[in-house]
Structure 1
């Protein structure tokens, strides 16, 4: 039982760190959307075309999808095992005194993120790979226009923002949890781990949350 739990945690840590690395690459690519409109369209469509036409990227995308599924499944299994191992429920629940809110609500945060991923993949990945799209002047699929039109909807921007707030809380706990599982959360450099975790979370959540807000208000100003 103990060994199995450790193995599950190692899978969670490994897939989680891979997803963290992907988020950095994905954010750096999406930051092109903050460029002036004409430049952003040219650069982002070129970037999207590069990703779609590269076999290595396609392989990585499938590894990414498998990692997301594995991360979610192992999280559910681990949560059930933990709940079963805890056994009796106590009359007074004082977990809030010993653990932060996000560590006690990873299931809720994960559900919000997973729901957002389904919507996100439908609106972008599915549209790009399985529908007929307009082309820009370079002959590339016009993903930039798809993004701009999507972020023109205030309710989608709101969902996006809420989802990345949830992701921020999820990342913060997950980063520290993975560090402990991999034996990196040592007293000698615990402050460094905490600093890197907070810095990474702020960069990822702040960057992704900024993009739809800027695009949305740029849309309003151009109307």
Structure 2
């Protein structure tokens, strides 16, 4: 591995880990949709208002956007470099038998998630920032009603859940790959790294998948 490739993998690992941290914050905010009664709308809209009006949150959001762009760019570059290095195929190459199917299809999973992210930004972030959302009784943009309306469509909920399955496999591979790249996958700690990785991916993806299902059937 050249120094240039290693540097790209390090940056990809760091941006990926930052995105993992953001997913925790995002999930904690979205869990307010599970609060029963009118309090759910009040707290979720207040949370959304906080994200859009706090200067510190705005700075973090810019870092988030930059991380997404950098992560995608480095992923494309590394994928292209790997494809060029595999142009010569050996007759008895059985590396596919040793790697997980999702490890061999990270490009496909990443593409699915990128398309999902574009749609997700369009349906919620763009409408919140540039649309004409009505205000709730506390003067906050009523993002809650928009979310409930979107999740009332069963096809959208199904697509969302399937994308969370894709996210799970993407995170599993990415988490362990980042740990190896950053030198944290030491034999002494590998059991704990695996446990942390699996726990994180299950909680995050199951949590995100459960929210639209709950909203659709119980709100």
TM-score class normalised by the smaller sequence: over 0.9
Find the aligned partners of 1:87 and 1:45 in 2 and give their Cα distance. 52
Q: CA offset at residue 95 of structure 1?
A: 2.8
Match of residue 143 from structure 2: 143
Find the aligned partners of 2:11 and 2:175 in 1 and give their Cα distance. 14
Give the root-mean-square deviation of aligned CA atoms: 1.1
Q: CA offset at residue 11 of structure 1?
A: 0.6
Moved over 6 A (4+): none
Q: CA offset at residue 93 of structure 1?
A: 5.1
Gapped regions of structure 1 (runs ≥ 5): none
Find the aligned partners of 2:102 and 2:146 in 1 and give their Cα distance. 33
Find the aligned partners of 1:163 and 1:63 in 2 and give their Cα distance. 24
Q: CA offset at residue 91 of structure 1?
A: 4.2
- Are 1:112 and 2:112 matched, yes or no? yes
* Higher mean displacement: 14-23 or 94-103: 94-103
Structure 1 length-normalised TM:
0.95
Find the aligned partners of 1:58 and 1:159 in 2 and give their Cα distance. 29
Figure out how many residues of one structure are paired with residues of the other and give that number: 219
Match of residue 50 from structure 2: 50
Render the CA deviation track for 1:104-160: whole Å, top value 9, x for unaligned: 000000000000000000000000000111111101000000000000001111111
Q: CA offset at residue 89 of structure 1?
A: 2.0
- Are 1:39 and 2:34 matched, yes or no? no
Match of residue 4 from structure 2: 4
Structure 2 length-normalised TM:
0.97
Match of residue 203 from structure 1: 203
Find the aligned partners of 1:207 and 1:95 in 2 and give their Cα distance. 34
Render the CA deviation track for 1:183-207: whole Å, top value 9, x for unaligned: 0001111000000000000010010
Superposition pairs of residues 152-191 of structure 1, within 5 angstroms: 152-191=152-191
